[in-house]
Amino acid sequence: MIRLGSLISPDGSVCLSWLDLLHNCFQELLNKPLNHFQPDQDDCLEGSPFLLSLSNGESCLTHSSHLQRQAIFLLLHCSFSLISKRAINAPHCNCPTSCSCFTANQESKLDSFYKTKGSLELYKWVQAHFPREISINHEMYLAMCMDFMSSFLQLYLHEDDLLFEVMLQLLGISSSLQQQFDLKEASYQDMKKEFPFDLLDIFNPVHLFHLFLSEIHYDHQVLLDYLISNDTGISCAKYLLRCLCLVCDSWELFLESPLVGKYYSKSSCKRRKLFGDGIDFVADKIPTSGDNYGTTIHSKNYEDDSEYGFKHAAECLLSLYNSIENLHQKDLFPYNPGVLLKRLRKFQEFCWQEPRFDGESTEK
């Protein structure tokens, strides 16, 4: 289904059928807590995304985090397809021009139905993972939203080839929801009243970008590895380009994006490219007890510390800019990063205008 969905744009009826299949066969995976990290290769080949266990001498396939990631990705994909779907497959009649208004009305109803169904799927899925006391008026509402997205990111950080695909899906979902909000569509406004939270607060792309940088510990080398990878290079570049554009268009939001609440995180142990003595080699970055992201679950609380988030995010992105530019000048970057460098240069100009930003550490 994932492969087929990447090759075609499924129509509304196909998306509805896929959602029914997901709920009938994989509801347990969709409802599985996002922040429960279980090893995926206890009894199978190292690195395999599948978990095969033995019970009473009989082998059984255990639900793995890999399958959970795939199920959630399909849910997001189908929901986004419905939200952004135009009712192009609505039945048309061969009537005279006098029937045009009726046909247009039928298309409008089908279009509204698709959008409502897609949004409802997202609301119900998110609600299943939120604490019962969630409310927009709750004093910890924003922290709860950030906690949810932090757990979501940690789940996908373990599978790079899906990570940026799902992040791009979230950007599309956020854009479509924002359009419904701006147009004050009645169906969307009525649905919002039925839930104690707003999807726009959860899938806020600027906040999500901040969280993503935080989850990779503001390490620009990890971003560089993503960009030059054969598996993630294109999707990572697309994601960064869109996020940089959003950041520059919503600069104040980027400056004030909070890092609040408790983030339950484990080391992603990303493989980094290290450069030294003219020789490139790859090594695992192994966390230590002083890294603030050891192997045990912990919490970190950045209460109202938006300045912390901005400075670290800015230093990470500007260090990435310097690294890409240096590699590009030496013809060592695997493709032409001109557009990405242009966006990063614009981001740099915004940073230099900020009194709170000290860019000495990122100078060439």
Cβ 213 vs Cβ 316: under 8 Å:
yes
The pLDDT of residue 30 is: 93
| pLDDT of amino acid 358 | 65
Give CA–CA dist 31/23, Å, rounded: 10
- Give pLDDT tens digits for 138-191: 788 888 888 899 999 999 998 888 999 999 999 999 888 888 888 777 777 888
* Contact between residue 85 and residue 111 where contact means Cβ atoms under 8 Å apart: yes
How far apart are the C-alpha atoms of 322 and 325, rounded to whole Å?
5
Lowest mean pLDDT among 125-139, 154-168, 217-231, 300-314: 300-314
pLDDT at 362: 55
Give the C-alpha separation, 142 to 261, whole Å.
Answer: 8
Strand intervals (E) in the chain: 51-55, 58-62, 271-276, 279-284
Residues facing residue 272 across a β-bridge? 283
**What's the mean pLDDT in 81-107?**
54
Paired tokens of 139: 């004093």
Most confident of 49-53, 115-119, 173-177, 333-337: 333-337
Give the CA radius of gyration of the chain. 22
Q: What are phi and psi of 354, to 5 degrees?
A: -90, 120
pTM of the model: 0.77
Lowest mean pLDDT among 65-74, 89-98, 331-340: 89-98
Least confident of 81-95, 144-158, 296-310, 345-359: 296-310
The pLDDT score that the predictor gives to residue 26 is 93
Instruction: Please check whether residue 241 is in contact with residue 210, taking contact to mean a CB–CB distance below 8 angstroms.
Output: no
Residue of 70 and 280 predicted with greater confidence:
70
Residue 28 CB partners (closer than 8 Å, separation 6+): 63
Residue 59's DSSP bridge partners are 54
Residues β-bridged to residue 274: 281
pLDDT given at position 106: 57
Distance CA 257, CA 260 (A): 9
Tell me the pLDDT of the chain averaged across its residues. Answer: 76
Instruction: Calculate mean pLDDT across residues 299-312.
Output: 58
Residue 153: CB atoms within 10 Å: 23
Please give the average per-residue pLDDT across 20-42, as a whole number: 78
Spans of all domains in the chain: 1-30+64-89+106-134+162-202, 204-287+295-364
pLDDT at 60 over 70: no
Has residue 198 got a pLDDT over 50?
yes
Mean pLDDT for 235-260 is 88
Place of tokens 């993630």: 232
